[in-house]
Structure 1
Amino acid sequence: MIVVWLKLLHVTALSIWAGGILLMPLLLGRREAAGDGATLHRLHAFSRFAYIVVISPAAFVAIGSGIGLIFAREVYTAWFAAKLLLVGGLVALHVWVGLLVLSVFDEGGRFARWRVAASVVVLSALITAIFWVVLAKPPIALAGWVADLARPGGLGALAEPLIRRLTP
């Protein structure tokens, strides 16, 4: 039963995180239209509030509940590694959006329309890829040195030449 509640928490938090982070470039794109004064201040305050109070905590809950699901479900497969790589990309873009929230509202700051469009496309593609990997669970064949790392003792065998050179 704990797995069901963890999944519910994970999916809910991930939905809030993904929807919120997808909204942020659209909000930042409104910076020029807001002009100066009270409208700009409200847009800045709302953007910061959304990022700090809603989106970032949802990201932490999504990642934390996801870690809990790893141990509860014992998921150690290649598709899961691909999902973690994609989530790492989403985390990197999350940090980038946070830096934008700080810089776009500086005096003279702006966020061009083409950047808004590019950001939405990249974020949408990444979020779609994460959901696709999770739902499709594609069979990913490990080949080459990656397959060697997946077997017990693989890292030691790969690092053995380096270890021999460093030890007297």
Structure 2
Amino acid sequence: MTVVWLKLLHVSALAIWTAGLLLMPLLFGQRRDAGSGGPLHRLHAFTRFSYITIISPAAFLAIASGTALIVTRGIAGPWFALKLLLVGVLVGLHVWIGLLLLSVFDEGGYFARWRVGASMVALSATMLGIFWVVLAKPVIDPAALLPGFMLRPGGLRDAAATFIPGPTP
């Protein structure tokens, strides 16, 4: 029963996180039209409130509940590594949006219309990639993607020995 509640929390938090991330570029795009004074301050306050009190905690809950699901269900495999890579990209986009929040609302700041579209495409592609990997669980052959030294114990040490000298015996 715990797994059901964890999944519910994970999916709910993920829905809030991703919907909020998709909202942010649209709000940034309204920066120029807001002008200055009251409308600009309201847009800035709403955008900042959304990011800090709704989207970021939802991201934390999604990642924490996902981590708990990994532990309770023992999930592993090459498809899961790809999913974690895509989640890392989504986290990077989340941080990028937070940095934009600081600069877009500075005096003279703006967010070009083409950047709204590009941001929406990047966010949507990442989210769809995550959903596809989770639902399809594609068969991925690591031997076809990775060099041989990465597939054997001690291989990375042997490969790095030419660049990083170790202690002499």
TM-score bracket for the superposition, by shorter chain length? over 0.9
- Structure 1 match to 2:40: 40
One-letter identity of the residue aligned with 2:8: L
- Structure 2 match to 1:157: 155
Structure 2 CA distance for partners of 1:147 and 1:84, relative to 1, 3 Å: farther
**TM-score scaled by length of structure 1:** 0.93
Work out the CA distance in 2 between the residues paired with 1:50 and 1:155: 46
Work out the CA distance in 1 between the residues paired with 2:65 and 2:150: 27
- The answer to whether the aligner puts 1:7 opposite 2:7 as a matched pair is yes
**Structure 2: segments with no counterpart, 5+ residues:** none
One-letter identity of the residue aligned with 2:95: V
Work out the CA distance in 2 between the residues paired with 1:24 and 1:147: 42
**Structure 1: segments with no counterpart, 5+ residues:** none
One-letter identity of the residue aligned with 2:9: L
- Structure 2 match to 1:129: 129
- The answer to whether the aligner puts 1:71 opposite 2:74 as a matched pair is no
Work out the CA distance in 1 between the residues paired with 2:112 and 2:25: 10
**TM-score scaled by length of structure 2:** 0.92
Give the Å deviation of 1:156. Answer: 1.3
After superposition, residues 87-126 of structure 1 pair within 5 angstroms as: 87-126=87-126
Work out the CA distance in 2 between the residues paired with 1:122 and 1:166: 42
- Structure 1 match to 2:26: 26
After superposition, residues 78-89 of structure 1 pair within 5 angstroms as: 78-89=78-89
- Structure 2 match to 1:166: 166
One-letter identity of the residue aligned with 2:141: A
After superposition, residues 139-154 of structure 1 pair within 5 angstroms as: 139-143=139-143, 145=146, 149=150, 154=152
- Provide the aligned length of Structure 1 versus Structure 2: 165
After the TM superposition, which segments of 4 or more aligned residues of structure 1 sit over 6 Å from their partners?
Answer: none
Work out the CA distance in 1 between the residues paired with 2:139 and 2:28: 39
One-letter identity of the residue aligned with 1:109: G
One-letter identity of the residue aligned with 2:114: W
What percent of counterpart residues are identical? Answer: 61
